[in-house]
Homo-oligomer: A and B are copies of this chain.
């Protein structure tokens, strides 16, 4: 007998029929003797309907009231799921974020969880009830309703699992696990049985949008075993957990992430004096533009070339800012390219294996793919290439690192 936290996303509870299917699944777990805390999202479409109502009144709706409004979506789902459970003779009780009490800061629409009071939930579990909690929401010190931002239901699930010391947090979604790369690009992509928190973080932040990144950070911090599974198809899913001791058995690379939404900008011939980086990037950050990869090279003439990437939507705005900066700094020119993509190989195994980066570069060179930028971290290597080579590059790397499903890899 174990304590599981389940989380069901919007499509998993999108209709009354699907809510009934979730209740059936929970009944099976219950009959196996497990304790269950279930986090639910709003029925798919409901959050957008509510946002639409708000936007028809106010372009930039008051954030406090926005949270009051959209938090009703999960509240509807949790009540309906409890009814479906009670109809099956299973005692159940629903809780809003405020009722639990999931204490957050007051940053409306993007609040962060500070504390969870588990007293009520634990007494319900002891009384044999399934506890159903509204995802994505909490309450601040003053009792104002807050939301964690889109996708925050994953975070609610992980935070509850941590607070309750659950055996596993299971995220039910519309995919059956985490893959070595996007199966739409690489037919031979494989579902991973396991992946570490760090790897998952790199995969998620680089574009494999299975889990909200904050929930993975949270799970890693509190060492909550996290499993991604399909709501619709039975299967073991992918377990995201701490690194195993026997890393020898681990493949060097777990997966390949990629991202098409990048654009790159270069400012050339900047006098290389201390503080020049912040003079270039400061105005960009001030405009709320997120900077991703940054590369700087110092030339022989004591000037420097400074290149960085931003989201493709921010390309024009960034370029405008940069032209201004170039003038102020007496730089030679500003260049840009918004037809680029980023590919990253990710794996904790590379820590103990030399030559991973060069193997990556060799594989790309073998396909005549030119590398525009390189960025490395302990468990990943990212390259920026021309967007047109993206699929070719991902397939070449997938094969080079023995990730194809027909390979026999120890995992």
Contacts and interface: CB of A to CB of B under 8 A. Distances in A.
Copies in the complex: 2
A83 B54 contact: yes
A143 B16 contact: no
A68 B145 CA distance: 15
Interface stretch (A56-64, A156-164, A206-214): A56-64
A58 B76 contact: no
Contacts of A92: 65
Interface in A54-97: 54, 56-58, 61-62, 64-66, 68-69, 71-72, 75-76, 78-80, 82-84, 86-87, 92-94, 96
Q: Which of A54, A62, A93, A99 has the most CB of B within 10 A?
A: A62
A98 interface: yes
A16 to B, nearest CB: 5
Nearest to A94: B68
On chain A, which size bracket covers the interface?
A: 35 or more
Interface SS, A side:
helix
A62 B50 contact: no
A271 to B, nearest CB: 49
Given A57-B83, A99-B143, A143-B99, A68 B75 contact: yes
A62 B98 CA distance: 21
Contacts of A84: 57-58
Interface string A93-109: 11010110000000000
A261 interface: no
Given A68-B94, A93-B64, A58 B79 contact: no
A93 B87 CA distance: 38
Nearest to A86: B62
Contacts of A56: 16
Contact of A66 (B50, B54, B79, B120): B79
Nearest to A49: B76
Given A20-B57, A56-B16, A86 B72 contact: no
16 contacts: A16-B53, A50-B76, A53-B76, A54-B80, A57-B84, A62-B82, A62-B86, A64-B82, A64-B94, A68-B75, A68-B94, A69-B75, A69-B79, A71-B75, A75-B75, A99-B145
Interface of A: 16, 19-20, 50, 53-54, 56-58, 61-62, 64-66, 68-69, 71-72, 75-76, 78-80, 82-84, 86-87, 92-94, 96, 98-99, 120, 143-145
